[in-house]
Amino acid sequence: MPQRQMIEPSRVAPPSPRFVPRPLTDKMIAVGVASKRSPLGAIICATLIVLALADLAMFVAGMGAWSTYRAAFVPAPVAQGHALQITTGTATPLPTQPPQVTLPRPPALEARAAILLNLGTGQILYGKQLFTKLPMASTTKIMTAVVALTHGQLDQRITVGADAVAIQGTGASVAGLRQGDVLTLRDLLYALLLPSGDDAAVVIADGIGGSQAQFVALMNQEAATLGLTETHYANAHGLDAPGHYTTVRDLAILARYAMTLPVFPDVVRTALYQLPATSDHQAYTWTTTDRMLTDLPYAGITGIKTGFTGNAGACLVFSATRAQGQLLGVVLGEPDETARFTEAAKLLDWGFAVEKLTAQPANILW
């Protein structure tokens, strides 16, 4: 069976009404009249009539085919006063360009080094001397608490030894622990982080590590685990010592990790902790050294830790939570103890402004 050949409509030529019947001439009429007079004339007349009828039939058929083609492939004219109707798909809107946003300039800081990051994502918003090794004073106690929470139990009972009491009266910051008192690790964390007790750091080191030296080894081991490659500890309390240093970047990583641990965030946001006397210990009242929680309040502040020594200057690790999110920062080497709080507040204000402006897609301009 022969296969059908498909022809595209656009390539089909329209039929032409070319078969036009010939009109009757005088000669035809004369022949017709003559046909009445002879048989031959009659035959000729009949033949002419048949040919004329055939021409007429072909003309009619041709016009019908032309009409069919016109209806299928030639657009109908638009009526006067009516718009041509064109059916299209749903229009896709062109993408709009995000608005341009000019971010505020970060504040000028007197700190030797500083960092501010988003606590949730870890994205660094501000950095100054991120990798400069500096002494960190009592911000050391953040690692002291991390090692204690990692290797100890919150209800673990630890006795205050003579070496802890010996540090009192040397100019160190202390919690005023009394030799022979027995406290839980939970209570010692408040003594460590609120009044920044160096004596509490020694008690925790002895109770968890077996000795201060062994505990410091655990601190350096934890630093390596957390990837704090520019950090090294020489003691558990943060007093100036050779080989005791960190960077603001490492300290921020450590603090961010510490804020994920149980109890730690609750301790560092506490302004006042009172421990009633029991048969195991005397009564204690500890107030935080973080003035952003007390007389220099900052809205949304959640801690974390102060520090000060002659070599380190004034130091502060801080965090705050607002509608825009959670921020965490570090300042090391501030010129005085008040400056660390005021500059931390400026940095937080700037950071929250940036977080608000960048919450929606935009072309960021500095």
Give the residue numbers annotated as catalytic, written as ranges. Answer: 138, 141, 196
Q: What is the DSSP letter of 30?
A: H
The two tokens of residue 267 are: 């301790």
Residue in the structure block whose two tokens are 């010692």: 188
- Hey, is 158 helix, strand or coil? strand
User: In terms of Cα–Cα distance, which of 365, 305, 312 is closest to 341?
Assistant: 305
Q: Which residue has the tokens 């209570």?
A: 187
Tokens of 158: 């630890």
Kindly give the pairing relationship between strand 325-334 and strand 113-118.
antiparallel
* Cα 285 to Cα 276, 300, 322, distances in angstroms: 8, 24, 30
Closest CA to 355 of 313, 325, 320: 325
Q: 335 — phi, psi (to 5°)?
A: -70, -25
Q: Which two tokens stand for residue 336?
A: 């005085």
Element (H, E) at 163: helix 162-166
